[in-house]
Chain A
Amino acid sequence: MSVRDTLRNSWQGINANLLRSALTVLGVLIGVSAVIILLAVGTGSSAAVAKQINSLGTNTITVLSTGRFGRGPATNGTESQTANLTTQTVNAIENQAQAPDVESVSPVVSTSETATYQGASYSTTVTGTTPNYLAAEDYTIAAGSSITQADVTGRKRVALIGQEVASNLFSTGENPLGQTIQIGSASFEIIGVLNEKGSSGITDEDSVVIAPYTAVQDELTGYQPFSELLVQAKSTAALDNAATEVENILASEADTTVADLPFSVINEGTLLTASESTSSTFTTLLGAVAAISLLVGGIGVMNIMLVTVTERTREIGIRKAVGAPKAAILAQFLTEAVLLSLIGGGGGVIVGLIGSRFKIEGVTPVIAGYSIPLAFGIAIAVGVFFGLYPANRAASLRPIDALRYE
């Protein structure tokens, strides 16, 4: 029996009960499209997370005093005396001989203050730092100019403001450049406005005031150690080396070992890796859910094929009586099952492609190239796997019993 004849026989079988065949196809279709869409959502959210992390500033290492995320280090006993982040620490890390992979170090003092301008007030984070900070954190100047090293050494009360601060304090559309705003009890002159950076998910990166750390210490925080150091590595590849160098320097400065370091050294690279593995877990999970629905679709195929075989027992008997060999019956019913899942798979790919064009829960799906052949291939494999048992059952019927079946 030719392939064409087998296909025609199977097609007739599918046509014999169109509604039932359509519902079975729908099961597979949903499974396949779910695989494609959910994997696209997973891939899309991975891409979004990666983009967000890039916007945080790459190649950076953050050094924090252990056990606190506030203003100053915990002060208990003598150890705390040596466990501060000071200008001396900054200079040590900036020493190229000790830390060849470090591009720059920016000390950070930060505080939350209310900024006011002509009756408008806005609560924001004030970051006191050096000019290097801007490059390390990927801040760029939209208007005006950046703070300079001279501003830092001159303890000048100048500030850069983020877009969020600008829009809240200067809601009338007045040019903020050159204006003087009150931050806490001190007045700062605005010399630049930062470009919009977006939210990192934890903090609003645009709700920020950046000023020389010397001026912030003078006016707002008083003289105390830095709350953190932002270290920029020379490249992403040098990140791990730079982290190790920073740890060694900190250990020798604090007179202790790397293991007992009273600081947290947070490598952005590991943060990136961690979040990448999180989103890949997420994608796998979505894929697994979709795979289950594909499996359910496959069981649907098997169920319908079993019903079909029972219903057409007599037909099978006739075919066998007129000389159909076992293989021909097996081929007919297996082809029928595979055709059902093939149609479902094809439809599922189309629905998946269409469905992936819509934004789902704020995530723009990105179709994973592998997901289409994967879903389609699994659909066919499901057809073969779940079709084999019913087809074999049909082929094994004894013609004498099948003919007697009512």
Chain B
Amino acid sequence: MSAGDDTGRTPRPVIVLRRIVKTYQMGDVEVTALRGVSLTVEHGDFVAIMGASGSGKSTMMNILGCLDIPSRGQFYIDGIDVRTLDEAALSHIRNRKIGFVFQSFNLIPRTTARMNVELPLLYANVGARERHARADAALELVGLADRSSHFPNELSGGQQQRVALARAIVTDPALVLADEPTGNLDTTTSREVMLMFSELNRSGRTIILITHEDDIAAYAKRIVRLRDGLIVDDHRLVPVDSAPPVVAAPDEHRVLSAEGIPA
């Protein structure tokens, strides 16, 4: 498969990147992190962006998340041209169109799980009653309805990441952007969280996952590899409109391998 099958299945792709270039000024040296990346992500897709450190995947994540703006090239998110937006409009885009999941969970300490999930709604000027209701619904979806009044330090890593996931989807964003979401979790918990991503994708959410682990990328429908600021590989595991791949549990995987049957 190639980038060729990105062509519009739906009238408006969630993400359109055209020849994106990003350069940084590091002291006297100009560093080019992205050298002309083009990528289209359709609605309902589940894309894993892979690459070693220094490949430009963090920069990619910052640009996709509207945390940083590209130096050159065009970037449309849900049909909106991001390059024309000012800071206030970018916060608005982050609030309405993107749900973030970070490697280090990034929950606000001394604030209950529910309040953490409510945070994006707070900045979207949603009334208190609706905020509570939507936060509870999101927590229910990630299986933490009974933990809504716990503080982050009272939750396990997996639970914290699920709270973060609830926070990412509470605004019903066009895109869930996850940056190494399992980087701080053990294998079992990682699988738990990844199954949740699969579940979310099955219910129609568009997900972009940034990772360097093949095991994690295996949950995606499409894998994009970056090297030295360029896309070097882009292949699809399953079609956009089908269910995400079912990945066997690590234990099964190991047992099968031991019997000499390829995974």
Contacts and interface: CB of A to CB of B under 8 A. Distances in A.
Given A12-B111, A400-B62, A323 B96 contact: yes
Contacts of B124: 323
Interface string B86-108: 01100111111000101000111
Contacts of A319: 108, 119, 123
Interface of A is mostly: helix
B88 A322 contact: no
A289 interface: no
A12 B67 contact: no
Contact of A321 (B65, B88, B107, B125): B65
Interface string A1-22: 1100100000010011000000
Q: Which of B91, B94, B96 has the largest number of chain A CB atoms within 10 A?
A: B91
Given A1-B125, A12-B110, A314-B106, A324 B91 contact: yes
Q: Which of A319, A321, A399 has the largest number of chain B CB atoms within 10 A?
A: A321
Contact of A315 (B67, B95, B108, B167): B108
B106 A323 contact: no
Contacts of A323: 91-96, 120, 123-124
B31 interface: no
B70 to A, nearest CB: 13
A322 B110 contact: no
Contacts of A141: none
Interface string A394-405: 000011100100
B122 interface: yes
A157 interface: no
Contact of A403 (B87, B96, B102): B102
A1 B110 CA distance: 20
B123 A1 contact: yes
Contacts of A398: 67
B213 interface: no
B176 to A, nearest CB: 13
B89 to A, nearest CB: 9
B68 interface: yes
Interface residues of A, number: 24
B124 to A, nearest CB: 7
A393 interface: no
Given A1-B125, A403-B106, A325 B100 contact: no
Contacts of B100: 321-322
Contacts of A5: 122, 128
Given A1-B123, A400-B67, A326 B91 contact: yes
Contact of A16 (B65, B88, B110, B125): B110
A399 B68 CA distance: 9
B110 A326 contact: no
Contact of A325 (B67, B102, B123): B123
A326 B95 CA distance: 13
Contacts of A1: 122-123, 125
A156 interface: no
A320 B122 CA distance: 12
Interface in B107-161: 107-111, 119-120, 122-125, 128
Q: Which of A5, A15, A325, A398 has the largest number of chain B CB atoms within 10 A?
A: A325
B91 A325 contact: yes
A274 B167 CA distance: 72
17 contacts: A2-B125, A16-B110, A314-B106, A315-B108, A318-B107, A320-B91, A321-B100, A321-B106, A322-B120, A322-B167, A323-B91, A323-B96, A323-B120, A323-B123, A325-B88, A325-B91, A399-B67
* In the A-B complex, the 10 residue pairs with the closest CB atoms: A323-B95, A322-B120, A400-B67, A325-B91, A323-B94, A323-B123, A324-B123, A318-B106, A323-B91, A399-B67
Given A1-B125, A314-B106, A325-B91, 14 more contacts: A5-B122, A12-B110, A318-B107, A318-B119, A319-B108, A322-B94, A322-B95, A323-B93, A323-B96, A323-B124, A324-B95, A325-B88, A325-B123, A399-B67
